[in-house]
Amino acid sequence: MKVRGRRPVALIVVALLALGAVVWAAWPSPPPVRAIDQMIPVVDGPADDQRVTLDTTFFPPAGGGKAPAVLLAHGFGGSKQSVRDQAERLAQAGYAVLTWSARGFGASTGQIALNSPDYEVKDVKQLIDWVARRPEVLLDAAGDPRLGVAGGSYGGAITLMAAAYDGRIDAIVPQITWYDLADALFPGASGEGPEKGVFKRMWAGLFFSRAVDSPLAPGAGAQGLLAGSSGPGSAGSSGQSSGGRNATGSTGPVAGAQEVQCGRFLPAICQMYQQVAETGRATPAAVETLRRSSPISVPGKIRVPALLIQGEYDSLFPLAHADANAKAIAATGAPVEVAWFAGGHDGGDGEPDWVADRTIGWFDHWLKKDGGSLGDAFTVTRDGGRDPGTRRPVLVHAGTGSYPGLSGTARTSVPLAGPDQQVASPPGGSPASISTVPGMGSLLSGLGGGGLAIDMPGQAAAFESAPLSAPLEVTGTPVVDVRVHGEGEVTLFAKLYDVGGQLPALPQGLVAPFRVTATQAGTTVSVTLPAIDHRFDAGHRLRLVLSTTDMGYASPAAPAVHRVGLASPALTVPTDPSLRAAGPGLSWWTWALPLAAVVVAAALLLLGRARRADVPDPELAEVPLRITGLTKRYRDGELAVDGLSFQVDKGRVLGLLGPNGAGKTTTMRMMMGLIHPDAGEIRIFGHRVTPGAPVLSRLGSFVEGPGFLPHLSGRENLELYWRATGRPKGDAHLEEALEIAGLGAALERAVRTYSQGMRQRLAIAQAMLGLPDLLVLDEPTNGLDPPQIAEMRRVLIRYAAAGRTVIVSSHMLAEVEQTCDHVVVMHRGRLVTTGPVSDLLVGAAPSNGSKGRLEDVFLDLIGDKA
């Protein structure tokens, strides 16, 4: 019965495990992606006369068949290898993907022209021609593939430029890239254009030095810098781009002056850079050159659905560039989505999975036209606090249905206070304040978002707000009017700190440089601070700092002192209250699991419930005990009790005899309903014994030693035991039982202090509580001294004389002989004999005439059977 009962549970568990294993094994694994390397010759240049070979890799769609194509461009300093992971992901999603090393990078030949329409754009057109000839690619028309282009940074710019010059492109996902390269390198927060901008010298230097092959560190160090964290794998896998260049052999063993200075740049671009870097000022010609490589030069020409992903941690191409691109593309009527993610050239999480999902979603909608839903028109990655489970920082994506631009959907005015302050421009521009160190962003951004901004004493003026009474979530560009007193042209750097944490934090390490022509009377200038998405917590202050230096920028070498103050004592900050992070939502399992569990629990409790109606046998109502065919098999298969049958009549003192292991105790346990018989049954006063059967209340038992709560006294134990039976206190006959125990004053002591014999007597007293009609005692005289044994004998005989029944098991034969009138002899689980003691003794009377002893009988009996 027991074994049968457990089997369903085990079966269910096994079935679930097997199901899990099958699902695990059979779960569709993504189809493998093939990669075909190919050198593709192209012709470009202003006169279409320059032959260049591009190193490409083509990934046919993983599912086979015809599929839309995606061109995937790499970042500056990278190669086609940098985007391999992304490419495989897209191919797995069912796109034909072409990656290539742009001219001047990796194993491609040619020189870098900064995504010029004469060079790189023409290359891409010919790549599209090539793609259109692939049999795997779905065509909109002959020679016009269904095509998306994506890429980060340098690759993002070619994405935009190609979309402007080639009408065959159907959707684009440019990431962390520029709108106006001139503005990116010569930003000016007063809005007067790159000619009056401040040279972003560290980034510019890194940018242009990346094109020089280094014999020292191929593929090491700042390799991933300009590739940015624009998507999966871009940071780590840019690999051997420099080495690939050496393999082409165009660089001799000893590089010439032009080589070491300009690397793989077009000489014209190299000269332009040298000129502006030396003076720190953008010439009109330089601006013209840089803008030819920028979407700003192609207004109204990018007319395809664009998902613009820009990094919040990006001091090279800040969020404002994506804003400008978005506005330009949206002006043509093309659908635009903007996402600010936790990445960029300064580091951040990078969110590769999220960027990949968004990109694939965008292409699925516009290329596969699968009718899938798009994301929010504007998404911002925010600090989502901590994961409720892991307690680790998590990112959430707050979205809203329309892109608000940088001035937000609402504006809040935050009063700032602070007197006019003198600030000094140090001679030589050193020491300089630090906001972001290009290339180190990923190291510093670990310091809690604010980075390690340092202002040099004497060089910075600060204006502070009162502590905020409520949190302020700024999304966009705060604006402030400042007044600068002094002489001549002044370069200043505006930053907005969040003060209130452990250290003042500069959100994303961003700074807004501007030039102003100062006058003694004071020149008022409206400063647009960097675009940020930042939450200023309640109790924090906003601090505007105007500094004369910044390490990342060129600042004037001549020493000077200026006076700066607020033109109006308020900072206008943009907000967008409609930006809401979609709650993770309640997973289906939060309600399904508990419900299922309750059902399973109910099934566990109700199924297989052995509910056999107890039909009392009226004929046995006066028979204290009848055992029929009782069998119990131990777990190891040995029979403990084997077909045992006997009956005990009222008023008897029955001895249950047998050597150790005969099954006496097992039988008694079955009488108490503690263990389930495998076959047969026990009836007490006609009622079948089952676990907890009510008839057990007529049974008093003492089996295999006493069981008391050691921390309670003997009296408490008996009292609580009786109360646990739920029967009236008066039925207990407690005093009679205690008298039998004979413990005296020890009754009030904790049971743990008792000797073995005391516990034994207390346990027998407990068995007699309520004067049960059937008393079952297992080795009751163990541990008792001879007088107590004699007393016990009298008690038992007296007990039975009152019409009750006593069953005593023992192997002390003399004891049984003196106490019992009947015996049941068991051996190896079987009944050997049963009958009155006197009959047994008579039957065994030896021929020599002396009186038979039970011991002889016993030994004889089990000897026979042994």
Q: Binders of other proteins among 663-682, rule CB under 8 A? A: 669, 672-676
Query: What are phi and psi for residue 378, nearest 5 degrees?
Result: -140, 125
**What binding mask, one character per residue, do residues 801-840 give for other proteins by CB under 8 A, x or -?**
----------------------------------------
The CA distance from 597 to 600, in Å, is 5
Of the pair 443, 597, the CB lying nearest other proteins is at 597
3-state class of 256 per DSSP?
coil
The CA distance from 388 to 668, in Å, is 55
The CA distance from 299 to 219, in Å, is 37
Residue 77 contacts residue 210 (beta carbons within 8 Å): yes
Of the pair 267, 471, the CB lying nearest other proteins is at 471
**Site for other proteins, residues 540 to 569, rule: CB under 8 A:** 540
Which H/E stretch holds residue 807?
A: strand 805-810
CB of 579 to other proteins, least distance (A): 14
Residue 406 contacts residue 529 (beta carbons within 8 Å): no
CB of 372 to other proteins, least distance (A): 23
Q: Pick one of 693, 797, 841, 859: the residue that binds other proteins (CB under 8 A).
A: 693
Of the pair 479, 630, the CB lying nearest other proteins is at 630
CB of 765 to other proteins, least distance (A): 12
Give helix then strand counts, H and E, for the chain.
22, 34
User: Rule CB under 8 A: is residue 577 a binding residue for other proteins?
Assistant: no
At 281, which amino acid appears?
R
Calculate the alpha carbon distances from 129 to 92, 123, 143, 165, 815 in Å: 23, 10, 6, 14, 110
Of the pair 165, 721, the CB lying nearest other proteins is at 721
Of the pair 695, 820, the CB lying nearest other proteins is at 695
* Cβ count within 10 A of residue 349: 17
SS (H, E, C) 106-146: CCCCCCECCCCCCCHHHHHHHHHHHHHCCCCECEEECCEEC
* Cβ count within 10 A of residue 638: 12
Of the pair 60, 770, the CB lying nearest other proteins is at 770
Q: Pick one of 33, 222, 567, 712: the residue that binds other proteins (CB under 8 A).
A: 712
**Site for other proteins, residues 762 to 781, rule: CB under 8 A:** 766, 770, 772-773
Of the pair 556, 673, the CB lying nearest other proteins is at 673
User: Rule CB under 8 A: is residue 694 a binding residue for other proteins?
Assistant: yes
User: Rule CB under 8 A: is residue 582 a binding residue for other proteins?
Assistant: no
Of the pair 21, 621, the CB lying nearest other proteins is at 621
Stretch that binds other proteins, among 184-192, 439-447, 698-706, 737-745 (CB under 8 A): 698-706
Of the pair 114, 776, the CB lying nearest other proteins is at 776
**Residue tagged 């940071």 (tokens):** 235
Stretch that binds other proteins, among 26-34, 46-54, 510-518, 721-729 (CB under 8 A): 721-729
CB of 578 to other proteins, least distance (A): 16
Of the pair 723, 865, the CB lying nearest other proteins is at 723
At 166, which amino acid appears?
D
Residue 70, strand partner residues? 97, 148
Query: E strands of 447-487, at which residues?
Result: 460-464, 472-476, 479-485
User: Rule CB under 8 A: is residue 701 a binding residue for other proteins?
Assistant: yes
User: Rule CB under 8 A: is residue 583 a binding residue for other proteins?
Assistant: yes
Would you mind telling me the total number of residues written for the chain in this entry? 866
- Angle at which helix 756-768 crosses helix 786-801, to 10 degrees, equals 0
CB of 657 to other proteins, least distance (A): 22
Residue 363 contacts residue 171 (beta carbons within 8 Å): yes
Q: Pick one of 58, 105, 178, 708: the residue that binds other proteins (CB under 8 A).
A: 708
The CA distance from 777 to 765, in Å, is 11
User: Rule CB under 8 A: is residue 736 a binding residue for other proteins?
Assistant: no
CB of 535 to other proteins, least distance (A): 9
- Angle at which helix 267-279 crosses helix 201-209, to 10 degrees, equals 160
CB of 668 to other proteins, least distance (A): 10
User: Rule CB under 8 A: is residue 10 a binding residue for other proteins?
Assistant: no
Up-side HSE of residue 237: CA atoms within 13 Å toward CB? 14
Please give the order of strands across the beta sheet that includes 830-836.
699-702, 774-778, 805-810, 653-657, 822-827, 830-836
**Site for other proteins, residues 384 to 403, rule: CB under 8 A:** 385-391
Of the pair 163, 751, the CB lying nearest other proteins is at 751
CB of 697 to other proteins, least distance (A): 3
SS (H, E, C) 358-390: HHHHHHHHHHHCCCCCCCCCEEEEEEEEECCCC
CB of 576 to other proteins, least distance (A): 17
CB of 642 to other proteins, least distance (A): 17
Of the pair 431, 710, the CB lying nearest other proteins is at 710
Give 403-416 as a DSSP string: ---TT-SEEEEEE-
User: Rule CB under 8 A: is residue 15 a binding residue for other proteins?
Assistant: no
User: Rule CB under 8 A: is residue 19 a binding residue for other proteins?
Assistant: no
Of the pair 564, 768, the CB lying nearest other proteins is at 768
User: Rule CB under 8 A: is residue 723 a binding residue for other proteins?
Assistant: yes
**Residue tagged 């329309």 (tokens):** 402
Q: Pick one of 284, 584, 843, 846: the residue that binds other proteins (CB under 8 A).
A: 584
| Nearest 10 degrees: Cα torsion 702, 705, 711, 714 | 50
Of the pair 369, 727, the CB lying nearest other proteins is at 727
User: Rule CB under 8 A: is residue 539 a binding residue for other proteins?
Assistant: yes
Of the pair 508, 713, the CB lying nearest other proteins is at 713
CB of 323 to other proteins, least distance (A): 29
**What binding mask, one character per residue, do residues 509-538 give for other proteins by CB under 8 A, x or -?**
----------------------------xx
* Cβ count within 10 A of residue 850: 9
CB of 271 to other proteins, least distance (A): 51
User: Rule CB under 8 A: is residue 691 a binding residue for other proteins?
Assistant: yes
**Site for other proteins, residues 594 to 653, rule: CB under 8 A:** 594, 596-598, 600-602, 604-605, 608-609, 616, 621
CB of 691 to other proteins, least distance (A): 5
Tokens of 654: 């029955």
Give 56-120 as a DSSP string: EEEE--TT-S-B-EEEEEPPTT--GGGGHHHHHHHHHTT-EEEEEPPTTSTT--S-B-SS-TTTH
- 410-415 and 139-141: which strand pairing? unpaired
User: Rule CB under 8 A: is residue 221 a binding residue for other proteins?
Assistant: no
How many residues touch other proteins (CB under 8 A)? 83
Of the pair 564, 579, the CB lying nearest other proteins is at 579
Stretch that binds other proteins, among 132-140, 414-422, 455-463, 703-711 (CB under 8 A): 703-711
Tokens of 861: 């009996």
Residue 293 contacts residue 116 (beta carbons within 8 Å): yes
The CA distance from 745 to 137, in Å, is 100
Stretch that binds other proteins, among 205-213, 352-360, 722-730, 792-800 (CB under 8 A): 722-730
Q: Pick one of 29, 373, 587, 848: the residue that binds other proteins (CB under 8 A).
A: 587
**Site for other proteins, residues 466 to 495, rule: CB under 8 A:** 471
**Site for other proteins, residues 97 to 136, rule: CB under 8 A:** none
CB of 594 to other proteins, least distance (A): 4
Stretch that binds other proteins, among 215-223, 305-313, 382-390, 566-574 (CB under 8 A): 382-390
